[in-house]
Amino acid sequence: MTAGKTEATHPRLTRAHCQHLLQQMIRIRRFEEKCAELYTQEKIRGFLHLYIGEEAIAVGVMDALEADDAVLATYREHGHALARGLPMNKVMAEMYGKRDGSSGGRGGSMHIFDAEKRFVGGNAIVGGGLPLAVGLALADRMQGRERVTTCFFGEGAAAEGEFHESMNLATLWKLPVLFVCENNFYAMGTRLDLSESETDIHAKAASYRMPSEAVDGMNIVEVEAAARRAVATVRAGDGPYFLECRTYRFRAHSMFDPQLYRSKDEVKEREKKGPIVRFQGWVLDAGILHQADIDAIEADVAQEIDAAVAFAEASEWEAIETLLDHVGAVP
C-alpha cells in the first residue's frame, strides 16, 4: 500500500517498486496455478474461477489505495485478496474450506473476506458487488469519512440492472466510488460483441456523466497510473470514476468450462502479450532488474506457496457443534 494520502498520480518506477509489482503479479499467478493443481486433487472443491492473465489489474489498482479504503471483488477474487495484503496462508486455508481460512472456511473460493484489510470480499452474483459499493460509499459520505470504495467486476455485469442503477446513484449522489471493470471480452462464455451493442463499457458509465476511461489491462504501469489518477479524483470529492481495464483471462471461466467459444491458438497468442511477460521483459531490457532478481522472486514465491499449502493442510475443519454459529433465521 502507498504511504500518506496518495499524493502521486503517477507510479515511480524505481527498482524497488518494479520489483514489488512483478513479485505481486508472480505471487498471484503461482498461487492460482497451485489452486488449479489442488483442485484436480480434490483438495479444493466447489467452484473455482482463476485470475490467470488479469494480475496487472489487481496489483496496479491496489497500489493506488489506502489501508482504510474498502475493496469489493467478484467470484474471481483470489488475486484481489492477495494484492490487498491478505496473508496467503489464510487465503489458501479458505480455499480448502478450513477453520483457519480468512472467512473461517465458510466462504470458500468465491467469498474471501477480511474485515481488518477492509476487503469486503468476493461475490458469487454477477454485478452483486456494485450496489454494495454504492452503499458503503454512501455511508462514508454521510459520516464524513475520507475513504474510497473500489469495486471490481467483469464486463458481463454491464448487462445487469444493478450496473445501471449503481452508475446512476453514484453520480447523482456524487459518491466516492472507483468502479473497475475487468473486461476480458468473453464474460462467462459469450464474446462481447455478440451480447452488447455498445462494446466500449466505459461509454456506458460516461452516459451517466461519470468520468471514465479505458486502459490496457495487460500493462501494469498503465493500470497503476490510471488508478492513481482516478483515486485522486474520487478522494478529492469529485464523485465516482470508472476504469475499463481491457484484459484477457488465459484459463477457462471456471474449472468446468470446456472453452468451446474460443480457439487454443487465440489463447496462445494472447499469452505472448500477458502482463507478467510484458513487464518482466521490460524491466530486464531496461536493466532495472536482472535475471538473478527474478529467480529470487520465483524462489521466494515458491516457498510462500509451500508454506500456505502446509498451513491449509494442517488446519482443522470447523467443529460440528459450531456449524450454526453466525446463522440466522426469520420466524
How far apart, in whole angstroms, are the C-alpha atoms of residue 317 and residue 325? 14
Question: Does a structural domain hold residue 254?
Answer: yes
Q: Is 16 exposed, middle or buried (0-12, 13-18, 19+ CB in 10 A)?
A: exposed
Residue 1 has what pLDDT? Answer: 36
Residue 9 has what pLDDT? Answer: 64
Residue 118, domain extent: 15-314
Domain CATH for 245: 3.40.50.970
Task: Yes or no: say if 148 and 135 are a contact pair by the CB < 8 Å rule.
Answer: no
How far apart, in whole angstroms, are the C-alpha atoms of residue 145 and residue 139? 8
Question: Does a structural domain hold residue 229?
Answer: yes
The per-residue pLDDT for range 202-219, each reduced to its tens digit, is 999 999 999 999 999 999
Residue 325 has what pLDDT? Answer: 86
| Residue 134, φ and ψ in degrees, nearest 5 | -60, -40
Question: Does a structural domain hold residue 319?
Answer: no
Question: Does a structural domain hold residue 83?
Answer: yes
Residue 41 has what pLDDT? Answer: 97
Q: How many domains does the chain have?
A: 1
Per-residue CA distances from 305 to 71, 87, 250, 259, 314 (Å): 24, 11, 21, 28, 14
Residue 71 has what pLDDT? Answer: 98
pTM over 0.85? The answer is: yes
Question: Does a structural domain hold residue 102?
Answer: yes
Greatest extent of the chain over all pairs of C-alpha atoms, in Å: 66
Residue 69, sorted as left (phi over 0), alpha (psi -120 to 50) or beta, turns out to be beta
Q: Which residues of the chain have pLDDT under 50?
A: 1-7
Mean pLDDT, the chain, whole residue set: 94
How far apart, in whole angstroms, are the C-alpha atoms of residue 198 and residue 170? 21
Question: Does a structural domain hold residue 77?
Answer: yes
**E strands in 93-211:** 119-121, 149-154, 177-183
